Structure 1
Amino acid sequence: MTNSAAPARPKGGKRERLGAAAARVFHEQGVEKTTIADIANAADVPVGNVYYYFKTKDQLVRAAIGAHEQALSDLIAMLERLPTPRDRLTALIGGWVAERETAARFGCPSGTLATELDKRADGLDRELAAVMRQLVDWVEGQFEAMGRTDARQLAVALIAAYQGISLLTNTFRDPELMVAEGERLARWIDSLAA
Structure 2
Amino acid sequence: MTDSTKSAVRKPGKRERLVGAATRVLHEQGVEKTTLADIAQAADVPVGNVYYYFKTKDQLIEAAIGAHAEQFHTMTAALEQHAATPPDRLKALVQGWVDQRELAARYGCPTGTLCSELDKRADGLDRAAAGVMGLLIDWVELRFAEMGRPDSRELAVALIASYQGISLLTNTFRDPELMVAEGRRLQRWIDSLA
TM-score, scaled to structure 1 = 0.92
Q: Deviation above 6 Å: which 4+ runs of structure 1?
A: none
Matched, 1:70 2:57: no
2:35 paired residue number = 35
Which runs of 5 or more structure 1 residues have no equivalent in the other structure?
Answer: 1-10
Structure 2 letter corresponding to 1:52:
Y
Q: Which has the larger radius of gyration?
A: 2
Identity over aligned pairs, percent? 74
User: 1:86: how far off?
Assistant: 0.9
Amino acid at match of 2:161: A
Match of 2:93 in 1: 92
Alignment of 1:45-194 (within 5 A): 45-81=45-81, 82-193=83-194
Q: Distance in 1 between matches of 2:140 and 2:58?
A: 30
* Structure-2 separation of matches of 1:34 and 1:85: 39
CA distance, structure 1, for counterparts of residue 14 and residue 31 of structure 2: 20
Tell me the CA shift for residue 45 of structure 1.
Answer: 1.5
Residue 154 of structure 1, CA deviation: 0.3
Structure 1 or 2: more helix by fraction: 2
Q: Kindly state the Cα deviation for residue 165 of structure 1 after the two structures are TM-superposed.
A: 0.2
Once the 2 structures are TM-superposed, how far is the Cα of residue 121 of structure 1 from its aligned partner?
2.7
State the SS of the aligned residue for 1:34. Answer: coil
The higher relative CO (CA closer than 8 Å, separation ≥ 6) is in 1
How many residue pairs are counted as aligned between the two chains? 183
SS of the aligned residue for 1:32 comes to coil
1:24 and 1:173 mapped to 2: Cα distance? 19
The amino acid that maps onto 1:48 is: G
Q: How far apart, in 1, do the equivalents of 2:117 and 2:73 lie?
A: 23
Aligned with 1:62: secondary structure? helix
Q: CA deviation at 1:76?
A: 0.8
Which has the higher mean CA deviation after the structures are superposed, 11-20 or 31-40?
11-20
Deviation at 1:12, TM superposition (A): 4.2
Q: CA deviation at 1:13?
A: 2.3
Cα distance between partner residues in 1 of 2:183 and 2:30: 26
CA displacement at 1:55 relative to structure 2: 0.9
Q: Any gaps of 5 or more consecutive residues in structure 2?
A: 1-10
Matches of 1:97 and 1:60 in 2, distance apart? 29
1:13 aligns with 2:1: no
Amino acid at match of 2:179: M
Question: What displacement does 1:145 show?
Answer: 0.6
Give the superposed CA RMSD. Answer: 1.0
Instruction: Determine the C-alpha separation between the residues in 1 that align with 2:85 and 2:13.
Output: 36
- Could you tell me how far 1:41 is from its partner in structure 2? 1.5
Amino acid at match of 1:154: L
| One-letter amino acid of the structure 1 residue matched with residue 122 of structure 2 | A
SS in 1 for 2:149: coil
Residue by residue over 1:131-189, the C-alpha shift from the partner in whole angstroms, topping out at 9 and shown as x without a partner, is 11011000000001111110000000000000000000000111000000000000001
